[in-house]
Structure formats: C-alpha cells, structure tokens
Amino acid sequence: MINFNKVHKSFGNLDVLQNLELSISSGGIFAILGPNGSGKTTLIKCILGMVSPDKGQILIDGNDIANQWEYRNHINYLPQIATFPANLTVQEVISMVQDLRTKDSEAHSLIQLFELEPFLTKKLNTLSGGTKQKVNIVLTFMFDSLLIILDEPTTGLDPLSLVQLKEIIKLEKEKGKTILITTHIMNLAEEISDEIVFLLDGKIYFKGTIEKIKSETKESNLEKSIAKILGKNA
C-alpha cells in the first residue's frame, strides 16, 4: 500500500530520513517505533504531504503522491498534539470537519462511547488534555478510510478510554484497514501490532513481527529487544 523509495529528508545539516526504503502492505497494524528525533513524525508527515522529501519517491497504492492532494481525503489522521480553534465548541469543530470531508460520519456513536455529550457545547480551550484527545479520536475515526495514521494516540487518555481506543483500532483492522501507529508505549505496540518498524537516526534497523525481533535479539519482550538494538548502536 505504501512504498518509500530512497526517501531522504534533511532540515539544515540534520539528516532526518536517510535514503529510506520501506514497504507497508495493505491491512493490519504497523507500529513505527524509535526514540525522540529518530524520524517517526517526519515519516508520517511525508505520507500526509505535510513535508516534502528532498530526494526519493513515496507511492500509495502505486501512485506517486508528490504534488498531489486528493489522496489525503482517503486518510484518517490523529496528530500527536490536538490543536483546535480555541473559540469553537466541540460540536462546532466536529461539524466543521464533517463539512470539509463530505463523507458519511459515525461521530454520534463515538461521542456516546467516549461520553462527550456534556462537553459538546463547551469551548475547546476550556477542556482538559484528556478530553481534547477524546475529541481528537472522534475526529479521526468518524470517517471510513482505508488508511489510518495515529501519532502517539494514547496521550492523556485515562485507562477506560485507552481500552476503548484499542477496541476501535482492532475493529478497524478487522475491516481490512491499514493502521500506522507511532508510540513510545512498548506494551501497546506489543499487544496490538502485526509488525513493527524501528527507526533510529532516520534509518530502519528492524522491520518485522514481534516474534521475529524477540527471536533475533533473544529477548523475552519487545521493550528489552528495542533496548538491545539501541545498546548496540549507541
């Protein structure tokens, strides 16, 4: 579904992605892991067209996305930090996004699931970080798209909301969706992902299943496996 062909991106003298070669097939949950500054967010922003590579090519379903925009209508995206217009209410921002996407929306069921009804008339700048993240999740999952990108989706969530989010992700996978997740929470990645991609300094040091990385590193869990890779490349 997504192919990176020798993608390189620098900011000044800093090489953030270094001739990246990566293929992500359709269907399943792919966790993109790596320490801060490893290139995870830049990789995501390249897929979304928010950052343009200096070199290389990104294909989605075989089509080069350079200088295109229509493909983004078929992506659901949850940013790491939810930044909403402060003067809008929760209902207003949901309605605004519904108008922009012009797709059938499942906002109502998600609002009920995350118990956001009491907050619909509240302005976004009055909400807690956790409640803003719930609004962010509603905006992400209320449309039916084949590609879903979640950048640190658990930020600020209480335990119940985290369980609900994981259930939504699993249901979307069962529908055949392709889901990319960046996260620092190794337990989450180990629990729900079909494959992981481990980035370090803009390069891929591992791509494969959880069982494969544990086998190659001879460790009992993902966290220890990642720590061993980091130790070898320190």
Residue 129's CB: how many other CB atoms inside 10 A?
11
Condensed to tens digits (0 to 9), the pLDDT of residues 59-96 reads 999 999 999 988 998 999 999 877 888 899 999 999 99
pTM of the model: 0.93
pLDDT digits (tens, 9 = 90+) for 120-155: 999 999 999 999 999 999 999 999 999 999 999 998
Q: Would you say 189 and 181 are in contact if contact means Cβ atoms under 8 Å apart?
A: yes
Ordered by start, the domain boundaries in the chain are 2-232
CATH (one of 3.40.50.300, 3.40.50.720, 3.30.70.1520, 3.20.20.70) for 2-232: 3.40.50.300
Q: Is the pLDDT of residue 101 over 90?
A: no
- Single out the residue of 35, 138, 20, 34 nearest to residue 78, CA to CA: 138
In tens, the pLDDT along 17-51 reads 999 999 999 999 999 999 888 999 999 999 999 99
How far is the C-alpha of 175 from the C-alpha of 133, rounded, in Å?
A: 24
Query: Which pLDDT score is estimated for 55?
Result: 96
DSSP 122-140: SBGGGS-HHHHHHHHHHHH
Q: Which residues contact 100 (CB under 8 A, 6 or more apart)?
A: none
The token pair at 106 is 């499942």
CB-CB contact of 107 with 120 (8 Å):
no
